[in-house]
Every structure is written in structure tokens, then in C-alpha cells.
Amino acid sequence: MSTVNLPSADDAAATGALRVGPAVLAAGAATGPLAGTVTVTKDLFDVAGQRIAAGNPDWLEDAEPAAANAVAVQRWVDAGATVVGISHTDELAFSLSGTNVHYGTPRNPHDPERIPGGSSSGSVAAVAGGLVDYALATDTGGSTRVPASYSGVFGIRTTHGRVPMAGVVPLAPRFDTVGVLASTGAMLERATRVLLGTPAAQTDASTAAPVTRIVLADDVLALADPDTADAVAAAVRRLGEDLDVDVANTELAGPQLLGDWRAAFMARQMPEIWQTHGAWVTRRNPSFGPGVATRMNDARNASRDGMHLADDARVEVLAGLDAALPEGAVLAFAAASGPAPRVDLDAAAKGSLRGRTIAMTCIAGLGGLPAVSLPLAEVDGLPVGVCLVARPGEDELLLAVARAVDALVAHAEYAA
């Protein structure tokens, strides 16, 4: 094992990020692109010898110690990463908020009165709080992109199926993907390329344009709060100027079709969640927080008749992307409908925010698309992510943009 600097217990406690750790849970290889680094894994990924809680103590009580690492965990360990903690998640990853009635709410360092975002809440708090430089996450309906946006870090949802989900507690397998959160674009690229099995980038951070064009989806952006939409649009224009590429505008689908896509996503996600967890929920009758309990009951009662709508929507999403994007281009809009809300936001307001955010994040889910959140915008001093979406398999294109952003933010006031 390479020599690693283990985070202190005090630092870990300050972030509220970890259920297990800090301790060496899986020692990294002596050599490799991640040698000498430390990371944490979301409490859905198997770590050999550890019991996984999936954000719920009843699940933890039923769990046996994992016999082996999840595929994604093992790829990082083989590349030299040492796992030093298991980070909190919303219960069964069935939320975007990051609050957990059993384990508490990890800290958003920009404002402790606001949520960090979920369901990869502990992973984003560990990165945003400086505990580790990168962390393992998942993304079904935005669970990497939303916390990245709320907490002001880089985050990527990988192309569906490119990184095996073996050894990960599922939610809705049709949409579940492995995600990565990181403090810098270069670190995001470095760690994610290991998961993707592609060689490390051969160039240093550079402002050389890794894309041919950025296309701002005005109709998708309109789902965000007006001040968020304005901040993201301004950040996209600045990004285009600094990368020396054109920024174009498009209507990806229009309000009616965007609403249909969200409905199609939910029509598949909800019954699939019950297919995944219904037997355990029925047998165990676990204690859930009120929001998760309500959504799980909705999943229980969801009809399976509309599940095919997600397949129809996938065709429409991919056709829309092909029409909007020339080769090498990426689509842009907001990573969430607004900045992180307060922890004590009332249920009705929280539901509205969640609905508008899912209407944006579900586009990548339906299409199986890679999507990255870049910390390039602010609203009232709070971070808001710029989301870039590419065609399936073009993860490396998004990672190259993230790496270029490192050089840009060093001399640009993106949040101004």
C-alpha cells in the first residue's frame, strides 16, 4: 500500500459525511493513477468485510458483511486509491435532499442551514468539506448532479452501463449509474477514467477547446428559478468565450414534451423501485423518514402499465439530442432548479423544487446519457451547477471540459 494521509476523526465529524471511518477499509495498490490518494464510497457500494446500510438501520441490521468489493470500488483500489470511509446516503437512495432521519444531514459548507443534496449526501459533503478530493456516488434521477450543484463541486453521471453496478444496492436499474464527485475537474477526470477503463488524459489542464460547440437548451433552463436560469446562462456564455467555442441556443423539446418525459421517467422509476425493494419492505416493514415513506408507498401503488413510456421517451430524447448537437457539441442547462434549499423548507415547497429538478435531470436518465455538473454559477452567494450533457459514451468529452474548467476558473469570475 502507498503511504496515505488518513483524515482525522475531528475533520470527519465536522463534515458529518461518514457512517464508517475514517479508517483504512480497503488499501490501495502501491502504484497506479490514484496511488497515494484516499476516497470514500457511498453507503450503497460493497466494501469487503463491511456491512452496507443503504441509509437505513433496518437494512444494516439485515446485511451481511460484503464478501468482496463492488466492481467500481475494486477498480479504484487496483488503481491505488485507499478507501477510508463509507459515506451517508438518503434511505435506499430514494431522495435528492441529503437529509436522513436516522443518521442526520451531512454538512453543506456553503451554508450549514441548507441541505447538501442527495442521495449522495455524504460523498458530496466529504468532497466539499475537504475530507477527500474525490468520492464514489450513484445517479438514478440526479443523485450525483444535484448534490454537486448544491455543494459547489464537480460531479459526473457516467453513461448508463459503462461502469458495472455489480456490488451496488440498486434503486431503479433502468436508470441507475455510477457517479463521481470531485474537488477539481482534473481529479474528476482522473478518477472517472479509472472507472471507465480509459487511459489517463495525456495533456495538462488547458483552456484548449475540448468541444466544438455548447448548445444552451432554453426550454430546459426555463424549468429553473429565473435567477438560477440567468446565472447559468451567463456562466455558459463565459465558458464558451473562454473555450473559444460558439454558444448556440435551442428548444430541445418544448414544455409539453418535457412534461411528458418527466411523466415517462416516473412511470418507469416508481414501479421498478417497488420491483427492486417491495419484497423487503413488505417483509421488514422498515422505519422510513416521512418523505421516503410517502414515495415508497407511491411506488407500492404505482401501475406497471406505463413502464414502456420510458423506452419511447428514450427514442425522443436521443433524436432531440441528435438534432440539437453537431459532432463534438454538448447540451447545457442547469444541474438543479435552484440553489440548495434550507433544511427546514416545508414539504410543499420541497415537492415543487424536486419536481422541477427531476424534469431536468431525467433527460440524462431516460437517454442513458453522461452528464456533468460544473461549479460555475452562483445565486445569492450559493453555488449552482452548470450541467453539460453529451451523447451516450461521450463521457471523456465531458471530463475534458471539466479539466479545462480548472484553468479557466483560476482567472475568471464565473460567479460574478
Q: Whole-angstrom Cα distance, residue 324 to residue 378?
A: 27
- Which residue type does 229 have? A
H-type alpha helices, 197-306 = 218-221, 226-243, 255-284, 290-301
CB 107 within 8 A of CB 129: yes
143 tagged catalytic: yes
Angle, CA 145 vertex, CA 109 and CA 366 arms, to 5°: 160
Q: Of 119, 121, 151, 183, which is the active-site residue?
A: 119
3-state secondary structure of 156: strand
Q: Whole-angstrom Cα distance, residue 295 to residue 287?
A: 13
- Which residue type does 385 have? G
Q: Of 123, 143, 149, 151, which is the active-site residue?
A: 143
Length of the chain counted residue by residue = 416
Q: Whole-angstrom Cα distance, residue 215 to residue 212?
A: 10
CB 383 within 8 A of CB 151: yes
- 10 Å Cβ neighbour count for 322? 10
DSSP state of 260: H
Which is nearest to 96 in space by CA: 379, 337, 391, 382? 337
Positions marked active-site: 42, 119, 143
